[in-house]
Amino acid sequence: MYQPKKITVVTGHFGSGKTNFSAALALELAKSGRPVTVVDFDLVNPYFRTADFKEAFARRGITLRAPDYANTNVDIPSVQFDLGGLAAQDGYLIIDVGGDEDGAVALGRYSHVLNSYAETGELDMLAVVSFRRYLTRTAGDAAQYLAGIERASRMKLTHLVNNTNLGMETTAEMIAESLPKCAALSELTGLPVACVTVPDFVTPPAEIPAEKLFRVPVLVRLPWMPKSAAISDDTETAS
């Protein structure tokens, strides 16, 4: 499985599944016994955010930092914590960034701090891509889209995460069909593939190398579903 650096910035298109990936990665890293902090940096989308998992994270010793107004009907674009200070702390830091260029613009405010960690090899910036989503259905479209995120954030992506899915309707065939597209995107961008996610209810396609496979639970629920059900007490991830 992909081995995260001290700081992992997770970005991607709306609906790519980056929040589900961020939460699953946090749960996996928490097994190491090292401190794990997740920053909900989604200042654009009021749904599908890591702040949904506050109580479940706390049960596993994961610290969640989110805007004060997250998950209220007064969602405003503000941050009340020191991202630079969090980056300097011991353990792992996962930053779940809002989708699209609009979400990446907010990250640009801290690019000088985060880029200093990238220069020392302590930071990865992952592009979560689903080839079943609008604007990222082809390698060419996805490459253009990711270039916009880099411009807006003033940071460089380091890896791709193939997170092709349709939620609970995801199939092994769907994931297998995405593999050539992800390989083409990797060639276009020069970005290596960190991992290919496979929901825990799907049999992994044989074409995925064992070292690239990341099994994930489906943690994010639709807006009308109870958020308390997003992660049950016995939720586990497997690598």
* Span 36-48, pLDDT tens digits: 999 988 765 555 4
Q: How many domains does the chain have?
A: 1
Q: 3-state SS of 136-193? A: CCCHHHHHHHHHHHHHHHCCCCCEEEECCCECECCCHHHHHHHHHHHHHHHHHHCCCE
In a domain, 14, yes or no: yes
In a domain, 120, yes or no: yes
In a domain, 13, yes or no: yes
Q: Can you give the residue range of the structural domain that contains 48?
A: 7-229
**Residue in this structure with the two tokens 């092994």, named with its chain if needed:** 172
In a domain, 1, yes or no: no
* Span 106-130, pLDDT tens digits: 888 889 999 999 999 999 999 999 9
Question: What is the value of pTM for the model shown?
Answer: 0.86
Nearest residue to 235 via CA among 199, 210, 195: 199
In a domain, 40, yes or no: yes
Q: Residue 26 is part of a domain; what is its CATH number?
A: 3.40.50.300
Structure tokens at 152: 């807006």
In a domain, 2, yes or no: no
Specify the DSSP class assigned to residue 88.
Answer: H
Q: 3-state SS of 5-71? A: CCEEEEEECCCCCHHHHHHHHHHHHHCCCCCEEEEEECCCCCCCCHHHHHHHHHHCCEEEECCCCCC
In a domain, 238, yes or no: no
* Span 208-228, pLDDT tens digits: 999 999 999 877 655 544 443
Instruction: Tell me the average pLDDT of the chain.
Output: 85
In a domain, 28, yes or no: yes
